Amino acid sequence: MNKTLIMTPGPTYVNEEVRLAMAQPITNPDLDMNFYEFYKDTCGKLKELMKTKEDVLILSGEAILGLEAACASLIEPRDKVLCIDNGIFGKGFGDFAKIYNGDVTYYKGDYRKSIDVEKLEEFLKTNHDFKIATIVHCETPSGITNPVNLICPLLKKYGIISIVDSVSAIAGENIEVDNWEMDIVIGGTQKCLSAPPGLTFLSISQLAWHKILNRNSPILSFYANLSIWKNWYKEKWFPYTQPISDIYALNKAVELALKDDILLTRHESLGKAVRESFHHCGLELYALNGFSNTVTTVNIPEGITYDTLFNEMITDHSIMIAGGLDFLKDKVFRIGHMGENCREDKLYLVFKALNTIFIKNNIPLEDELHKTFINKVNS
Ligand SMILES: *Cc1c(COP(=O)(O)O)cnc(C)c1O
């Protein structure tokens, strides 16, 4: 059995209650009417979590399927798509839009900062001939949260349909789908919800449904086609056999998240303590503002490589941390403090191990990381 403490920004630790939920006997999900109710109940819990009255669907594929399904179903050839890009996932969204022949314009922000809403507003004043816009809520590679609460209403002012990747934010950062006028919001199981990887879920507004159901051209996919789901409950019909065990786990995980009264405040206070501890000890965060409460990205100090850091964390301390993606490879390390990993005891172990490794490798620290962390948590 794997005893390594997985502190990456997803997949996260799956607790026993969620794992046991997966062990329940399965049924035939197409023929058992109770399963339609169970699926509906799971969507209902997700609606509560995402603060929406709109439809929520669960699709059997990892979060990337959610991103692709939103693009495949909404975007018609030559539709003008605004891709709001201040990070690796933000830029990548444009690639999905291009697969479905969207006419993509990138709005590029500073990769070390959250999107500046005033500047975006200026841009939109003269450039708003877009049908659809894509935006990432939390840029997991850089540890930056974008103010989607302000961005989505701004897009709506110009009638632009928003697709929001909230995969690493839902259940770790506040999200109010209806109040913030978000059209399609995508989540995943393996981040802040701390369920096993395998499912994606998304909310779909009336406006998004209208576009999906009134296209001039067919949706060039089956698996990523949201329109086939429109009447699943009324017709008691699923497009394909549902991954029952994964949905059992998701239902339990959302139930636990909803029961946790301090879920968001814990992410906020521990996220802050993590950042302040690194800063206090002389380490530099990659992000300059808009700090995420679910993941922290730290510049690797001089004198140690990412490989050494990663390997010593595993071999000497049985803790797995993550590194940089794309252009950040070997330049940063990342700690996920999301969902079940947003816990003081686990983060203490991470800081203690990092402290030991930095001292062993003669990396100067201005104070002890783990002691600073405890002080910050208690201050
Ligand atoms: C994790 C994540 C996804 C899903 O990507 P995988 O690499 O397949 O896990 C999508 N968007 C964001 C912002 C994520 O953090």
Interval 68-106: pLDDT, tens: 999 999 999 999 999 999 999 999 999 999 999 999 999
* 179 backbone dihedrals φ, ψ, rounded to 5°: -60, -35
Domain identity same for 47 and 162: yes
CA of 46 to the centre of ligand 1 (A): 18
Interval 324-362: pLDDT, tens: 999 999 999 999 999 999 999 999 999 999 999 999 999
List the end-to-end C-alpha distance of the chain, in Å, as a whole number. Answer: 37
CA of 63 to the centre of ligand 1 (A): 6
> Which residue out of 68, 148, 165 has the highest number of ligand 1 atoms within 8 Å of its CB and is therefore the one to mutate?
165
Confidence at residue 1, expressed as pLDDT on a 0 to 100 scale: 57
Domain identity same for 44 and 140: yes
Residue 215 assigned as binding residue: no
CATH (domain of 190): 3.40.640.10
Interval 31-74: pLDDT, tens: 999 999 999 999 999 999 999 999 999 999 999 999 999 999 99
Nearest ligand 1 atom to the CA of 141 is: 15
Residue keyed to tokens 């802050």: 272
Domain identity same for 246 and 350: no
CA of 64 to the centre of ligand 1 (A): 7
Domain identity same for 63 and 169: yes
C-alpha span between 285 and 371 (Å, rounded): 19
Domain identity same for 255 and 276: no
Residue 339: C-alpha distances to residues 7, 50, 174, 241, 346 (Å): 11, 15, 13, 29, 12
Nearest ligand 1 atom to the CA of 138 is: 13
Q: Which domain holds residue 314?
A: 5-9+261-378
Domain identity same for 237 and 121: yes
Q: Which of 162, 203, 229, 197 is nearest to 48 (CA)?
A: 203
Q: Could you tell me the two tokens for 43?
A: 């969507």
Helix axes 88-99, 63-74, angle to 10 degrees: 50
- Residues within a 6 A CB radius of ligand 1: 10, 62-64, 89, 136, 140, 165, 167-168, 188, 191
Interval 175-224: pLDDT, tens: 999 999 999 999 999 999 999 999 999 999 999 999 999 999 999 999 99
Interval 193-205: pLDDT, tens: 999 999 999 999 9
Domain identity same for 84 and 217: yes
- Mean pLDDT value across residues 136-143: 98
Residue 186: C-alpha distances to residues 53, 195, 253, 312 (Å): 15, 16, 17, 35
CA of 187 to the centre of ligand 1 (A): 9
